[in-house]
Structure 1
C-alpha cells in the first residue's frame, strides 16, 4: 500500500446490502471503522448493533482487531480504483441469564420412567 493516500472500503451486511464505499486513511483504526458503521447503520434493519462491541469486521477470512490500523491489518492488495469489501457480523445481544432459566430446571421434573413387562 505504499504510495497510497487512502483505501476505499465498503461494508457488506448480512442481508447483502452495503454501507459505503468511502475512503479511509491507512492509519484509521478498526474501532473507528466500527463507529462509522454504527453511525451509518440503516435504521429500518432489525437486530442492529447497539455498540461497536456488537460488531465484527472480517476481511479475507480474518476478524480484524479493534486496536489495529488498516495498515497493520495487512489488507490484501487491491486493483487500482478497486474497492475492498469487508463483511460485517453483528453479535446477538447477550441475554439476561436470570431471565433465561427454564422454569422446570430442577432434576426431579425431568424424570424418565420405564416399565418392563
Structure 2
C-alpha cells in the first residue's frame, strides 16, 4: 500500500490550454526528470516547443519548481488531493539570440535633455 502512496498522477498544462498526461511518477522523481519527460512527450505539431530542459519552467501551486527538488518535496498539502491528479503549468522560455539582437538593432547614440 505504501507504493501507491509514493506515486503521483501529474498532468502538464501547456500555455494553449492543452495537456500532456496524466502520467504516474514516483515521489522521488526530480523536477529535472519531469522536464525531460515533457520534452519527450511534447506534441510535434506545436510551434515554438522547448529545445532543452533549460527552456522549460514548471509551476505548481504558484511556485516555479527547482530542477533539484523532488515531486514529493513540491507537493502542496492545500492543493493536492490524495489519489487525485496534480496539474503543473508549463512555460516555455525561448533562448535569447544575442547575435540576432545585435544584427537587428544598430547602436544609436541618443541624448535626452529635460528643462525644468
Please give the TM-score of this superposition, normalised by the length of structure 2.
Answer: 0.82
Determine the structure 1 residue equivalent to 2:84.
Answer: 82
**Separation in 1, partners of 2:35, 2:57:** 8
1:16-43: CA deviation from partner (whole Å, max 9, x where unpaired): 0000001110000000000000000001
SS in 2 for 1:16: coil
* Aligned Cα root-mean-square deviation (Å): 1.8
Q: Are the structure 2 counterparts of residues 81 and 71 from structure 1 closer, same or farther at C-alpha, using a change threshold of 3 Å?
A: closer
Query: After the TM superposition, which parts of structure 1 deviate over 2 Å for at least 4 consecutive aligned residues?
Result: 74-81
Structure number having the greater helix percentage: 2
- Alignment match of 1:106 (pick from 103, 108, 111): 108
Quote how far apart the aligned CAs of 1:111 are. 7.3
Matched, 1:19 2:23: no
Q: Are the structure 2 counterparts of residues 39 and 106 from structure 1 closer, same or farther at C-alpha, using a change threshold of 3 Å?
A: same
How many aligned positions are there?
A: 106
Quote how far apart the aligned CAs of 1:73 are. 1.7
**Separation in 2, partners of 1:111, 1:66:** 44
Q: Structure 1: 5+ residue runs without aligned partners?
A: 113-117
Quote how far apart the aligned CAs of 1:80 are. 4.0
